[in-house]
């Protein structure tokens, strides 16, 4: 692993050739947990309460490599220590009536960024989408994440779908259900079938 000794100028250098990118398995839960917790720390507002570590580990174990669930690639140094990961899942894409691969997260520990590790992870995800014959590779980028925007813009093939990503946290899902139009109101709205007189 890339590290510097506090009492000497000795630094071990991580070479990209020494980085292994492989599929995450059940035995990798601790590495995944470290990466997920670092992702939380990177994105969460400091005053927001972070998710419980034990519950997070349990959920990772419950959903890793199952359907429905998620899959992951891990980037590891020569000693097997985690450097970063890519989390993804398959989703049905209506316009092609086929499965797409949804990349949820690429995350690399801060001290290992700009070394090409994110590119290695992205390549593996793209290879997975291609080998499993997915109709699309999809991902989301936070508007304010300039580094991620720069990373993804290098792919000329990327098309901005002009879609707005919306989400609701677990605690508010019930509110959406309550505010949705009840069927009794919809039934009272007159409508005309297009193409029929």
pLDDT tens by residue, 29-79: 999 999 999 998 888 766 667 778 899 999 999 999 999 999 999 999 999
Q: Report the chain's mean pLDDT, rounded to a whole number.
A: 84
Q: 112 is written with which tokens?
A: 């290992």
Distance of alpha carbon 58 from its chain centroid, rounded?
18
pLDDT of residue 189: 53
What is the band of 185 on the pLDDT scale with cuts at 50, 70, 90? low
Task: For each of the domains in the chain, give its residue range(s) and CATH number, in order of start.
Answer: 10-163 (3.40.630.30)
């Amino acid at each position: 692993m890339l590290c510097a000794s506090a009492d000497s100028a000795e630094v071990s250098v991580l070479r990209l050739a020494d980085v292994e990118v492989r599929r995450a398995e059940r035995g990798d839960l601790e590495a995944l947990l470290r990466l997920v917790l670092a992702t939380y720390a990177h994105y969460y507002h400091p005053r927001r309460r972070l998710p419980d570590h034990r519950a997070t580990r349990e959920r990772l174990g419950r959903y890793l490599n199952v359907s429905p669930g998620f899959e992951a690639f891990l980037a590891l140094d020569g000693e097997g220590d985690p450097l970063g990961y890519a989390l993804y899942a398959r989703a049905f894409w209506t316009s092609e009536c086929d499965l797409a691969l949804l990349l949820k997260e690429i995350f690399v520990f801060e001290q290992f960024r700009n070394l090409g590790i994110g590119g290695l992870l992205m390549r593996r995800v793209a290879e997975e989408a291609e080998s499993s014959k997915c109709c699309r590779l999809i991902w989301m980028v936070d508007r304010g994440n300039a580094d991620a925007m720069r990373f993804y813009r290098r792919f000329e093939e990327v098309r901005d779908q002009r879609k707005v990503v919306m989400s609701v946290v677990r605690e508010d899902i019930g509110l959406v259900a309550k505010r949705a139009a009840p069927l009794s109101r919809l039934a009272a709205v007159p409508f005309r079938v297009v193409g029929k007189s």
